[in-house]
A and B are shown apart, each in its own frame.
Chain A
Amino acid sequence: MTLTVTDLAIARGGVPVLEGLSFTLAPGRALILRGPNGIGKTTLLRTVAGLQPPLAGRVEGAEETIAYAGHADGIKPPLTVTENLKFWAQVFGTGDIAPALKAFALTDLADRQAGNLSAGQKRRLGLARMLVTGRPIWALDEPTVSLDRDSVAMFAAAVRAHLGQGGAALIATHIDLGLEGEVLDVGPYKARPRPVEDFDGGFL
Chain B
Amino acid sequence: MTALLLRDLRLAFRAGGGFGLGLAFFLIVTVLVPFAVGPQSALLSTIAPGVLWLGALLACLLSLDRLLALDWEDGSLDLLATAPLPLESVVTIKALAHWITTGLPLVLAAPFLGVLLNLAPPGFLWLVVSLLVGTPALSVVGTFGAALTVGLKRGGLLLSLLVLPLYVPTLIFGAEVARRGAVGMETATPLLFLGGITAACIALLPFASAAVLRVNLR
Contact = CB atoms under 8 A, between A and B. Distances in A.
Nearest to B211: A202
Nearest to A126: B75
A73 B82 CA distance: 14
B186 interface: no
Secondary structure type dominating chain A contacts: loop
Secondary structure type dominating chain B contacts: helix
6 contacts: A49-B82, A50-B81, A50-B82, A72-B74, A91-B3, A202-B214
Interface in B168-218: 212, 214-215, 217-218
Given A64-B84, A91-B4, A74 B14 contact: no
Nearest to B148: A203
Nearest to A203: B215
B138 to A, nearest CB: 25
Contacts of A78: 10-11, 14-17
B175 to A, nearest CB: 33
Nearest to B72: A72
Interface residues on A, range: 20 to 34
Given A51-B217, A76-B74, A78-B11, A67 B3 contact: no
Contact of A74 (B16, B74, B84): B74
B84 A93 contact: yes
B70 to A, nearest CB: 8
Nearest to A69: B79
A46 B218 CA distance: 8
Contacts of A79: 7, 10-11, 14
